Structure 1
Amino acid sequence: MIVWGTKGFSEDLGPTSIHAECENCHNVVTYQGKKVGKKFSLFFLPLFNI
């Protein structure tokens, strides 16, 4: 039998911040750094002994 699955994750990168200015309205905003991704797991479970 084969079992698989996925799980999303989001990790805060700590005190990282980026200051940027909008080209249209010239507002200054601060972005926080985050690591976002997806993990995939695959398992094989043997059902018969030989």
Structure 2
Amino acid sequence: MLVNKKGMEMVQVGILIALAVGIGLIFKTQITTFINNTFSTLMNSGF
């Protein structure tokens, strides 16, 4: 029996992208706060 591996790879990539987007939406405020704090620290340190 032949199995379509290309199709399974696309399904796996789709699932990973969906998970990444979901995690990004869940932790959006924490990620934004972290990035803003990091950039403000870098700007205040003289760079």
TM-score class normalised by the smaller sequence: under 0.3
* Structure number with higher helix proportion: 2
TM-score by length of 1: 0.20
* Structure number with higher strand proportion: 1
Q: For the pair shown, which has the larger CA radius of gyration, 1 or 2?
A: 1
